């Protein structure tokens, strides 16, 4: 028993006729009344956090999103507007739970591919991570939503559309300048369309016969390529060198402040989206070639290299992947002629 209680009992015992047991009973009754009264009294109340996910998303847009690659930023914005904010934006971030997010997954997966659902959840996870790490919200715990415990749809790998060497040749032959040279650049290097549109005159070394990938164009602005590994030189074949020299001497090349090789009348890099809609798609339709985007050229280059017997490490270097496992994951299904010849040779030895 505390010293305070003992002293209280001693004071009660000072009254004549009040036994120690009676003093203890009297004290218990007084304490019970005090405790009952305290139940209705709120001391230093903790105000419920009212910061919603929508508020956090706005802060993330202002502080974090501008540091992302343009395409990544655009994808995240699409996830927010189409899925995350309409369904979860009204929740306070401290009220979000694994159960709520799992219900959200069930709601959106009906009309989306497994890969898209995973990407949407990744955007949500990133925003909450920054909110927790930078302490945007008091009391936000890092594991409030256990993302690792979520049951997500399977990411089914769909066949990647690619153009054959014959199809690429037909497209280049039918295209008009400067689109013809752009397609030749895609087809002979395996570069991404934004890397081709971001090529500057200084990036092309005719003496060493290499193209140095240092920039990427998106919506008329120059940025860095997709990854650090992407910033690497690629061999430039004789046909491409000849085409680029011809382009730089032609009326289609306009000197511009950015120094880009392919630019519009305003001196800005061409828009990949406009080229796709107004140049590539009409051309594929005219030639009765499957509907595809510019990435089909890149996949076509990889497939043709593998079919020609090039080692997977060579394909990795040409596409500038950071890891050979990425190349295997993307093109492991492609069976090249070298593999076919090896199997046929083995069969001749095994089968009479």
CA distance 49 to 91: 11
Collapse the DSSP code of 35 into the 3-class scheme (helix H, G, I; strand E, B; otherwise coil) and give the result.
helix
For 190-311, where are the alpha helices, taking DSSP H only?
A: 193-197, 238-249, 272-275, 281-286, 295-307
pLDDT of residue 198: 96
- Looking at residue 19, its pLDDT comes to 61
pLDDT value of position 220: 86
Task: Give pLDDT, residue 140.
Answer: 76
Interval 208-264: pLDDT, tens: 999 999 999 988 889 998 888 889 999 999 999 999 999 999 999 999 999 999 999
322/197 Cα distance (integer angstroms): 22
Model pLDDT, residue 310: 86
* Token digits of residue 225: 């390529």
Per-residue confidence (pLDDT) for residue 45, from 0 to 100? 39
pLDDT, one tens digit for every residue, the chain (352 residues): 555 555 555 555 555 555 666 666 666 776 666 566 555 444 343 445 789 999 999 999 999 999 888 889 999 999 999 999 999 999 999 899 999 999 999 999 988 889 999 999 999 999 999 999 988 888 777 778 999 999 998 876 666 788 999 999 999 999 999 999 999 999 999 999 999 999 999 999 999 999 999 999 988 889 998 888 889 999 999 999 999 999 999 999 999 999 999 999 999 999 999 999 999 999 999 999 999 999 999 999 988 888 888 888 888 999 998 888 878 777 766 665 666 665 666 567 677 5
- In this prediction, residue 40 carries a pLDDT of 45
Is the full-model pTM beyond 0.75?
no
* pLDDT reported for residue 91: 95
Residues pairing with 222 in the sheet: 217
Q: For position 332, what pLDDT does the model report?
A: 66
Q: What is the pLDDT of residue 123?
A: 97
pLDDT for position 11: 53
Residue 249's CB is within 10 A of a number of other CB atoms, namely: 9
Task: Identify the pLDDT of residue 339.
Answer: 60
Sign of CA dihedral 212, 215, 219, 221: negative
Torsion-angle region of residue 173: left (phi > 0), alpha (psi -120 to 50) or beta?
A: alpha
By the 10 Å C-beta count (0-12 exposed, 13-18 middle, 19+ buried), 79 is classed as: buried
Beta partners for 218? 221
Using the Cα atoms of residue 30, residue 35, residue 40 and residue 44 in order, give the sign of their dihedral. positive
């Amino acid at each position: 028993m505390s010293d305070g209680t003992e002293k209280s009992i001693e004071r009660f015992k000072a009254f004549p006729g009040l036994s120690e047991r009676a003093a203890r009973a009297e004290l218990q009754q007084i304490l019970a009344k005090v405790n009952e009264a305290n139940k209705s009294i709120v001391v230093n109340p903790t105000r419920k956090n009212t910061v919603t996910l929508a508020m956090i998303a706005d802060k993330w847009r202002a502080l974090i999103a501008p540091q992302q690659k343009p395409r990544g930023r655009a994808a995240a914005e699409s996830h927010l507007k189409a899925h995350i904010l309409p369904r979860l934006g009204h929740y306070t971030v401290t009220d979000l739970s694994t159960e709520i997010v799992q219900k959200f997954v069930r709601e959106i997966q009906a009309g989306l591919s497994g890969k898209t659902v995973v990407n949407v959840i990744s955007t949500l996870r990133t925003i909450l991570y920054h909110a927790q790490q930078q302490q945007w919200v008091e009391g936000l715990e890092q594991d409030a939503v256990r993302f690792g415990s979520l049951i997500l749809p399977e990411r089914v790998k769909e066949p990647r559309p690619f153009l054959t060497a014959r199809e690429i040749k037909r497209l280049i032959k039918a295209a008009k300048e400067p689109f013809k040279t752009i397609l030749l650049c895609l087809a002979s290097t395996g570069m991404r369309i934004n890397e081709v549109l971001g090529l500057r005159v200084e990036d092309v070394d005719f003496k060493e016969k290499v193209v140095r990938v240092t920039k990427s164009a998106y919506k008329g602005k120059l940025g860095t390529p997709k990854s650090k590994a992407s910033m690497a030189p690629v061999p430039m074949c004789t046909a491409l060198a000849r085409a680029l020299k011809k382009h730089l001497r032609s009326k289609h090349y306009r000197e511009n402040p950015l120094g880009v090789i392919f630019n519009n009348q305003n001196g800005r890099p061409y828009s990949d989206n406009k080229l796709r809609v107004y140049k590539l798609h009409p051309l594929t339709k005219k030639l009765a070639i499957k509907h595809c985007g510019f990435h089909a050229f890149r996949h076509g280059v990889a497939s043709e290299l593998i079919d020609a017997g090039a080692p997977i490490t060579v394909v990795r270097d040409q596409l500038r992947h950071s890891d050979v496992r990425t190349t295997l994951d993307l093109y492991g299904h492609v069976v090249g002629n070298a593999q076919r010849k090896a199997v046929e040779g083995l069969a001749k030895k095994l089968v009479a």
